């Protein structure tokens, strides 16, 4: 079984290891032949830096958490799945027993086992491998989609959760800062939620063109024309909601100037600590809300794609074979040419 394993910064290996999943299935489990996997920003941090923030690799780890695959075997007690089904696989595995799980906040589970994470030790191995055994509860039938579309269910769920954190968006004016994969999916999700106008900012003309394709009414290259946001600052601001997807001060602080009183700011980008203008936030009565992972939104995104209320196929700009995984990581790093690079396992 081929697996994509990170050993340290720039030390990515394709290793043919005996299948750790070659065992009898227990009740509630299914065996999956992996089909497609998307390279995420966190995967890139492990590849380039060996971690992010205080999180560091302490042992080799299989990467990946955005995957789809085909059901090849069904364990005892499983219903709703058939051999051959294409499924999107949620990487989120809350314990169901901690206080936050009992409060209905599984995305804050104290014992979360999220695929491809070096936060705990031993690390939680990821899903960039040819075969998986997963809980049936993680699987959402994605028949009718391509494997690549099904693998987009995880990042899509992140942005659908952010829309819920913002509250009702029907008829609202929305600003989205940062047009990487999460920013572009936020545009699609805001349209789905009923936003009346969406403006997007980024530093890349390539990603801004994709933002318009996703549904942004207009776009601003904040590097070439930072003053273009000024038109939205008069009269105490223009936007009802901001989805900040860069995680850096250059994205957040100018955007705050454009917010209407009692606007909602949802922070998705995780780029490090940013100093906040607390006087402005208080005077405008802005709501600053974090958004972290997802849970019940995962199947909602799959259904929206199946119903073609969301068509995200154009976001998949590159596909690579498993043996070309390192090229997939290098390509995914170049935001002038790539949105979502995916690895095809079968």
- The reported pLDDT for the residue numbered 19 is 65
Q: How far apart are CA 191 and CA 176, in angstroms?
A: 12
- The reported pLDDT for the residue numbered 17 is 67
CATH, domain range 2-152+312-344? 3.90.180.10
Statement: the pTM of the whole predicted model exceeds 0.85: yes
Q: How far apart are CA 67 and CA 64, in angstroms?
A: 8
Q: By C-alpha distance, which of 193, 201, 187 is closest to 165?
A: 193
Q: How far apart are CA 309 and CA 270, in angstroms?
A: 28
- Superfamily name with CATH number, domain 157-290: NAD(P)-binding Rossmann-like Domain (3.40.50.720)
- The reported pLDDT for the residue numbered 1 is 86
- The reported pLDDT for the residue numbered 20 is 53
- The reported pLDDT for the residue numbered 193 is 98
Q: How far apart are CA 69 and CA 6, in angstroms?
A: 22
- The reported pLDDT for the residue numbered 54 is 84
Task: Show me where the domains of the chain are located.
Answer: 2-152+312-344, 157-290
Please, what are the averages of pLDDT over each run of 10 residues along the chain (346 residues)?
Answer: 95 81 88 97 95 91 98 97 98 95 95 93 96 96 98 98 98 98 98 98 97 97 95 96 95 96 96 88 97 96 98 97 97 95 95
- Residue 52 · residue 42 · CB < 8 Å: yes
């Amino acid at each position: 079984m081929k697996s994509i394993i990170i050993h340290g910064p720039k030390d990515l290996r394709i290793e043919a290891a005996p299948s750790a999943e070659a065992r009898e299935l227990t009740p509630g489990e299914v065996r999956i032949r992996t089909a497609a996997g998307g390279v995420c920003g966190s995967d890139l941090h492990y590849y380039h830096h060996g971690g992010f923030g205080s999180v560091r690799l302490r042992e080799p780890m299989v990467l990946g958490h955005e995957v789809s695959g085909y059901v090849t075997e069904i364990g005892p007690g499983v219903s709703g799945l058939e051999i051959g089904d294409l499924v999107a696989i949620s990487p989120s595995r809350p314990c169901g027993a901690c206080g936050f799980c009992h409060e209905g906040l599984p995305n804050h589970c104290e014992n979360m086992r999220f695929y491809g994470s070096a936060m705990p030790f031993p690390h939680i191995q990821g899903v960039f491998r040819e075969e998986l055994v997963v809980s049936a509860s993680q699987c959402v039938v994605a028949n009718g989609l391509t494997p690549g579309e099904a693998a987009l269910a995880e990042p899509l769920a992140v942005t659908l959760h952010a829309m819920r954190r913002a509250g009702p968006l029907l008829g609202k004016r929305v600003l989205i800062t940062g047009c990487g994969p999460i920013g572009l999916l936020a545009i699609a999700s805001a349209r789905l939620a009923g936003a009346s106008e969406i403006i997007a900012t980024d530093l890349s003309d390539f990603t801004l063109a994709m933002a318009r394709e996703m549904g942004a009414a207009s776009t601003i290259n904040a590097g070439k024309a930072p003053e273009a946001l000024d038109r939205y600052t008069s009269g105490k601001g223009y936007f009802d909601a901001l989805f900040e997807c860069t995680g850096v001060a250059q994205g957040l602080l100018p955007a705050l100037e454009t917010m209407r009183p009692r606007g909602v700011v949802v922070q998705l980008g995780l780029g490090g600590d940013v100093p906040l203008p607390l006087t402005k936030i208080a005077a405008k009565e802005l709501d600053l809300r974090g958004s972290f992972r997802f849970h019940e939104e995962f199947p909602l995104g799959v259904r929206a794609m199946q119903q073609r209320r969301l068509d995200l196929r154009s976001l998949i700009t590159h596909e690579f074979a498993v043996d070309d995984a390192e090229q997939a990581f290098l390509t995914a790093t170049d935001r002038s040419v790539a949105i979502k690079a995916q690895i095809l396992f079968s």
